[in-house]
Structure 1
Amino acid sequence: MSSLAGLLQRPTNRQLLAGAALLFVTAFYSPLTILMLAPVYGSAPAHLFHGYGAALVGGAGWFLKDHIQRLSGGRALLVVPVLAFWVPTIQTFLFASSSALGNPFGAVVTEVLTYYPLLLISVACAGKLVQAGLDLGRHGDAVAEHVPLLATYVIYKAGEKVAKWFLAHFLGAAFFLSRSGIQLLLPVLYSTIAPSKVLLLAVPSLIFSLTSNVHMHPGALNSHLHEEGFSLIARQDSLTGYISVLDNLNDGFRVMRCDHSLLGGQWTRMPRGYSPAVMDPIYSVFTMLEAVRLVETDHHEPRVDANSKALVIGLGVGTTPSALMHHGIETTIVEIDPVVHQFATEYFHLPSNHISVIEDATTFVQRTPPAQYDYIVHDVFTGGAEPLELFTMEFLENLAATLKDDGVIAINYAGDITLYPAALTVRTIQHVFPTCRIFREQSDSDLTTDFTNMVIFCKKSSATPLTFRKPVPADYLASKFRENYLLPKQEVDASMFQEIPKSGRRFLFEREKNLIYKWQDRASLEHWKIMRSVLPDLVWENW
């Protein structure tokens, strides 16, 4: 049976290697923990206290290492792989209480009962091993204590950086490279570092993971989802989060999910004889975005779809670009996540006759020649927060350069329109595009929260006010839904966004976007509550 005391009696290089390996694997678990929390609590709330908690617990592990070793009789290392095997099981049961625990409290409780104990004991054991491996006692107590502390910190942070790079490049490539698969793989690595007969205590958790854990076993997941009237069609880890496609079996709609957010959805159950050219979306905002075609020119001449070009930034399920293509517009879609594009094509009828660009939009607009597009649709909300880099002055100016002089842009902004970031965003957009009108998705009577979608329609020209032509039957694509929602109706008074709070900024610049993160955290928590009212708790918790 292996123990910390046993390892401490081994040759110096063996001690140092074991300590470094233990720290490295534990550091890898840090970003993985956030990935596990994100589908249940959202990516931003999962980050909210993680860094502070990890620093506090890691520090406690180092300074309590001698105390922990005495209490465990030098056998604390034996507990580490057992804890690692139990983490997924404990998380699964805690996720089932996420609604009762709330957000972000539930995310913190989950880490306190799973990752933090693993981190505490791992750092304590690794600290002893690194200290013994360096063997600096002959240089005095100060050196013997502080150099190993610094070495432990450096190894842990290096492991964290490697983990983030690895997950960014390989997450989702295979089962054991998925977030759930890696949770099974890391305990095996812990067991290699500290083999022990105590691992028998992990057998019940391992059996549960392989047979009943909904995050690892699709069959178990669908049996739970069917109880709520849903069915999982596809799922995969990817660049922007956990992506899945779900069917609502009772009401007849299909949605695409990214972590704790919906990228969009379409109605799948239609009345007999009803067959729109493009499937009706479940949210009217995606139909409103199609109204970019209805904005009149300065000379009030009708725009012609033929020979027109559109740029769509952010794909979602592809409702808006599908409509543009059906109108005969050459459409370029820029989407950073290849899985989103794959799922939109396979499960949401995205036509193939478009130009697909799987790339960061900031890079794409920088290399695009000027005056290329008649229409631009900017729709990039995901994971409960807007990607700030796509609303900065720098990005919007580069984007405006790709729009023709008489072109039109429609920008979807999702958030609390009473908060500072919304006003900052609107002012930045208005500075780049001089003529704008703002519409929201819901009327005053329908609003239950200030968090909503608003579409900002803008022209590059300021010669005339922005106006919409009256739609004709061809604009509706044989859709009753579009007849109701295509032409924007709920206009927002732009003057409400002009007040600048004390210490606030007039415009959003790339160098200052970090000042907005705390507001995004607040908005993400509000968005979490909204999403819990859209789909049942069980759907979010079991992902």
Structure 2
Amino acid sequence: MAKSLSNASAHTKPDSVSALDRTVLYLTVSLTGASVMVLELLGTRLIGPFYGVSIYVWSSLISVTMIALALGYWLGGMIADRIPGLRLSYLIASAAVATLLIPILIRPVLLLTDPMGLRAGAFFSALLLFTVPLTLLAMTGPYVIKLAARQLANVGALSGSVYAVSTLGSVIGTIALGFYLLPMTGARAVLYGLSALLGLLASTLVLYERRGLGGNVATLCVAVIVFACFGGGALAYEHHRPQPWGKGLTLLYESESVYGWVRVIDDQAQKVRFMMSDASTISAADLDNVRSGLLSYQWVTQRLPVFRPAARSALLIGLGGGHIAAGLERQGVKTDAIEIDPAVAYAASRYFHYHPSGDLLIGDARYQIRRLNKTYDFIIHDCFTGGSEPAHLMSIETLRELKAHLNSGGILAINFVGFAEGERRMPAQLVYRTLGEVFEHRRVYVSEPDSEFNDFIFFAADEPINVHPEAASARTLDLLAKRRFFGMTEGERIVTDDFNPLESLQVSKAEMYRKVLLERVGMDVLLR
């Protein structure tokens, strides 16, 4: 390219860049800018199913991206000054190869970093997988500026243009990935496609750099065909790629939606069908009766009519397999549901035989709640997923919005995973205190009475929450009494949209949840 630029200068002004040079260079920085954002965003889809999609995974990926960009800018500028023989096409080709290696290295890297724990494991997984390709892509910016600059007089304008075009490419890459590529293909297929695209760009740059040395259109056509075949083969492989799981596990359904990696898996050994979203089991059922859930906190939630026998309507936020809704509907409680992930809603209907008696709304809970024009006797808040809960749905502002949609005497039920003892119970105490700021009465149940690590099921209402013995069997009353928790105390602060420390306080919970998950379903189902 250095040769082409020098040749072009003979026919252009000394301080200008030819139209062809400008087009090629801007195309390069726009595609590399898009590639940087695609890799950063894909990181959550590759690491999240193993470590959970949490603030720690996002922080790790953003930090690694910033490290790689800083290193790439420095190296790119230094190499452009000191090693002029290193062509731009070499950098792009190397980035293509490094990107191609990511899906190959995912499994061994995750297994290598697993002993490091949640935070260190997420960071070093991102560091090992993404530093090299991101650094190579970042090197192109200063390298392009060096190649295109004629005189010091136009370096400022040229630099601004290069980084502006690169940023615009990043925007386009972000939108293309989130709106189209991920829902249509999946993370690994996008990586293969990105590698092929970078390879094609490198081939184009080789021809451009060697315009006077025998490069021709035929060579470019061959490169296009090779990379098209490679990309098509990679997509075909992804659609038929066998899962490296142990015997007795059967994958029934898999979808990589914009919200998570959703799978429905049959475990023949345990006779259980479960649904997973990233690194969380969000539903489980006996293979002989998939309509009935096996998760014990769901059993407690389905007993809500024992406290309000006259109740006839409910809203479930977080559908899962639909077992809570089905249990309430069998008791005559018509149940609407809000589910953010259409893949989860489909799996609940197709593989757990969920058939809504009320409305099924697909979308973010807070957005859908603001649009509701109904009130309910019960609202069940069950949004725990991926090893973490969406903390913005636990704030006092959200609770007030939910209260506005409760009938007089209605009950809000919240499922919250945490610890019952010691300093680690602080998150549960914060939620309990926040509920007390909105409702007059509270009651707490747990899914496992003898376990420190538990699902807490918080009931909150403006009227006393009492059991109606005539509405339940003696066995139900006995089980409810055993699961009632009396040890919950007030937290020191409340959770608000402005002050919301839940996720940072839930590190121990996330690590314990992941440990329990691995014991129950095994590590293989978290690996791609």
Give the TM-score band, short-chain normalised.
0.7 to 0.9
Alignment of 1:450-465 (within 5 A): 450=453, 452-461=454-463, 465=464
CA, structure 1 residues 437+164, in 2 after alignment: closer, same or farther (shift >3 Å)?
Answer: farther
Determine if contact 1:39/1:540 at 8 Å carries over to the other structure: yes
Aligned to 1:73: 86
Determine if contact 2:446/2:455 at 8 Å carries over to the other structure: yes
Q: Distance in 2 between matches of 1:455 and 1:507?
A: 18
2:443 matched to 1:437?
Answer: yes
Alignment of 1:259-278 (within 5 A): 259-269=278-288
2:45 matched to 1:35?
Answer: yes
- 1:188: how far off? 1.8
Determine if contact 2:399/2:435 at 8 Å carries over to the other structure: yes
- One-letter identity of the residue aligned with 2:109: L
Counterpart pick for 2:380 among 373, 377, 380? 377
Determine if contact 2:92/2:201 at 8 Å carries over to the other structure: no
Aligned to 1:275: none
Counterpart pick for 2:301 among 289, 305, 325? 289
CA, structure 1 residues 508+359, in 2 after alignment: closer, same or farther (shift >3 Å)?
Answer: same
Q: Distance in 2 between matches of 1:534 and 1:250?
A: 12
- 1:518: how far off? 2.4
Counterpart pick for 1:359 among 363, 367, 387? 363
1:354 is paired with a residue of what secondary structure? coil
Counterpart pick for 1:510 among 497, 501, 515? 497
Q: Distance in 2 between matches of 1:18 and 1:185?
A: 17
- 1:292: how far off? 1.3
Alignment of 1:10-409 (within 5 A): 11=18, 12-13=21-22, 14-44=24-54, 45-68=56-79, 70=82, 73-74=86-87, 75-100=90-115, 102-133=117-148, 135=150, 137-138=152-153, 143=156, 148=159, 158-170=168-180, 172-175=182-185, 178-195=186-203, 210=234, 216-221=238-243, 224-225=244-245, 227-269=246-288, 279-296=291-308, 303-304=309-310, 308-369=312-373, 372-409=375-412
TM (normalized to structure 2)?
Answer: 0.83
- 1:38: how far off? 0.9
- One-letter identity of the residue aligned with 1:394: E
Identify which of structures 1 and 2 has the higher relative contact order when contacts are C-alpha pairs closer than 8 Å and 6+ apart: 1
For residues 385-418 of structure 1, give each alpha carbon's deviation from its aligned partner in whole angstroms, at most 9, with x where no partner exists.
1112211111111111111112122111123453
- Count of residues in Structure 1 that have an aligned counterpart in Structure 2: 489
Percent of pairs identical after alignment? 21
Q: Distance in 2 between matches of 1:430 and 1:161?
A: 43
- 1:281: how far off? 2.0
Q: Distance in 2 between matches of 1:107 and 1:136?
A: 45
CA, structure 1 residues 211+376, in 2 after alignment: closer, same or farther (shift >3 Å)?
Answer: closer
Aligned to 1:299: none
1:453 is paired with a residue of what secondary structure? strand
Determine if contact 2:388/2:503 at 8 Å carries over to the other structure: no
- 1:152: how far off? 5.9
- 1:240: how far off? 2.1
- One-letter identity of the residue aligned with 2:482: K
Q: Distance in 2 between matches of 1:328 and 1:427?
A: 32
Determine if contact 2:447/2:455 at 8 Å carries over to the other structure: yes
What stretches of structure 1 of length at least 5 have no aligned partner? 271-277, 297-302, 477-481, 501-505
For residues 177-222 of structure 1, give each alpha carbon's deviation from its aligned partner in whole angstroms, at most 9, with x where no partner exists.
x21221111112212221169x9xx99xx79x84997xx254511x
Aligned to 2:432: 426
- 1:436: how far off? 0.7
Cα RMSD for the two superposed structures: 3.3
CA, structure 1 residues 6+82, in 2 after alignment: closer, same or farther (shift >3 Å)?
Answer: farther
Q: Distance in 1 between matches of 2:405 and 2:437?
A: 16
For residues 419-441 of structure 1, give each alpha carbon's deviation from its aligned partner in whole angstroms, at most 9, with x where no partner exists.
43322221111211110111111
Aligned to 1:492: 485
CA, structure 1 residues 400+488, in 2 after alignment: closer, same or farther (shift >3 Å)?
Answer: farther
CA, structure 1 residues 157+434, in 2 after alignment: closer, same or farther (shift >3 Å)?
Answer: farther
Determine if contact 2:305/2:471 at 8 Å carries over to the other structure: no
Determine if contact 1:62/1:124 at 8 Å carries over to the other structure: yes
CA, structure 1 residues 347+472, in 2 after alignment: closer, same or farther (shift >3 Å)?
Answer: same
Q: Distance in 1 between matches of 2:514 and 2:59?
A: 14
TM (normalized to structure 1)?
Answer: 0.81
CA, structure 1 residues 352+441, in 2 after alignment: closer, same or farther (shift >3 Å)?
Answer: closer
What stretches of structure 2 of length at least 5 have no aligned partner? 9-17, 207-218
